[in-house]
Amino acid sequence: MLGSMLFTRCCSGARVVAGHGVKEVAGIRFPGYGAHHDHYPHRYITVACAIGTTKRDIDVFLQRLAKCWSSAIK
Domain with 15, as residue range(s), is 2-73
Give per-residue pLDDT as tens, 2-40: 878 888 888 887 888 877 778 899 999 988 887 778 888
Q: How far apart are CA 73 and CA 53, in angstroms?
A: 28
Q: What is the CA radius of gyration of the chain?
A: 15
Q: Which residues have CB under 8 Å from 50's CB, separation 6+?
A: 13
Q: How far apart are CA 46 and CA 48, in angstroms?
A: 7
Please answer whether residues 37 and 3 qualify as being in contact, where contact means their C-beta atoms are separated by less than 8 angstroms: no
pTM over 0.85: no
Q: How many structural domains comprise the chain?
A: 1
Q: What is the CATH number of the domain that holds 11?
A: 3.90.1150.10
